């Protein structure tokens, strides 16, 4: 078993720093897990050229070496470079896939109908609307390719549901003889959030997010944070 952080993520706006507007480009922490023949990349959040370079620098791997891409959530900042891994199997939790898919499909359908009506009337479809339509089509294409992740991605690499920030947010629990590691995505975004016991303000359900936060802290010795590095869980043993 080999686990390493390929790229440390960042929040576009960190509410714990009193930021209300984006101050930087947000991107998820990208983690690599090698278990047997499986080469699993979690949350490819950087732009493709940057992530390809990091993958070579941190693990001496090429995009075609990756066998699975797992998304802790379908947030755009978790999947910016997913197209780089066209030979891999793309996975997301079944709940995330279902809860994202229905409203996404409805939004695309409504906007496509609106464009048809505008075209029929001989009017111009707004440039902003055209951009949104393109983004929706791309999102639907990516989600359509994503499969519902099985309970276990490889020996010792299991799904660990962490709903709250999104309905289907899901981490990966890695069991080893001497420690348990949890790749927790935005369920625990940064070390500041971990130390202060706080979740993101943009949660789908804050109470559920706090419960998931508590479960993550309870189970793991090492936490790979959604927008930060891997950190030892000092609270678990009361250190």
| Distance (Å, whole) CA 114 – CA 91 | 32
Give the pLDDT confidence score for residue 239 in this predicted structure.
42
CA nearest to 155, candidates 179, 176, 171, 170: 176
Lowest mean pLDDT among 15-24, 60-69, 96-105, 203-212: 96-105
Residue 106 Cα distances to 94, 111, 112, 204, angstroms: 19, 9, 10, 19
**For 134-164, what is each residue's pLDDT tens digit?**
677 888 889 989 999 999 999 999 999 999 9
Residues 221, 195, 78, 148, Cα dihedral to 10°: 50
For residues 111-121, give the mean pLDDT: 62
**pTM of the predicted model, to two decimals?**
0.90
| Backbone φ/ψ region at 101: left (φ over 0), alpha (ψ -120 to 50), beta | alpha
Q: State how far the Cα of 161 lies from the Cα of 216, in Å rounded to an integer.
A: 10
Between 210 and 111, whose confidence is greater? 210
Share of the chain above pLDDT 90, in %: 77
Choice among 14-23, 150-159, 220-229, 230-239 with the minimum mean pLDDT:
230-239
Angle between helices 127-145 and 94-120 (to 10 degrees): 150
CATH architecture of 2-93+149-232: 4-Layer Sandwich (3.60)
- Rounded Cα gap, residues 232 and 105, in angstroms: 40
Q: What is the pLDDT of residue 101?
A: 76
Structural domain spans, the chain:
2-93+149-232, 95-144
pLDDT band at 237 (very low <50, low <70, confident <90, very high): low
Contacts (Cβ under 8 Å, ≥6 apart) of 179: 221, 222
- Each residue's pLDDT tens digit, 177-190: 889 999 999 999 99
Dist. CA 179–CA 183, nearest whole Å: 13
Mean pLDDT (the chain) is: 90
């Amino acid at each position: 078993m080999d686990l390493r952080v390929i790229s440390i993520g960042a929040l576009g706006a960190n509410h714990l720093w009193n930021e209300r507007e984006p101050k930087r480009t947000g991107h998820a922490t990208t983690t690599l897990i090698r278990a047997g023949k499986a080469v699993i990349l979690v949350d490819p959040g950087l732009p493709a050229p940057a992530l390809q370079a990091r993958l070579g620098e941190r693990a001496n791997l090429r995009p075609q070496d990756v066998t699975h891409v797992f998304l802790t959530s379908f947030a755009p900042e978790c999947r910016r470079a997913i197209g780089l891994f066209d030979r891999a199997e793309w996975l997301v939790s079944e709940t995330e896939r279902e809860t994202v898919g229905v409203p996404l499909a409805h939004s695309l359908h409504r906007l496509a109908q609106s464009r048809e009506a505008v075209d029929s009337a001989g009017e111009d479809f707004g440039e902003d609307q055209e951009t949104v339509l393109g983004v929706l089509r791309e999102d639907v294409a990516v989600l359509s390719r994503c499969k519902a992740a099985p309970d276990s991605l490889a020996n010792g690499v299991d799904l660990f549901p962490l709903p709250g920030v999104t309905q289907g947010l899901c981490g990966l629990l890695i069991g080893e003889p001497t420690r348990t590691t949890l790749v927790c995505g935005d369920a625990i975004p940064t070390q500041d959030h971990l130390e202060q016991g706080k979740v993101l303000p943009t949660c789908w359900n804050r109470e559920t997010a706090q419960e998931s936060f508590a479960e993550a802290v309870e189970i793991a010795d090492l936490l790979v944070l959604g927008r930060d590095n891997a950190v030892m869980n000092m609270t678990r043993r009361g250190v």
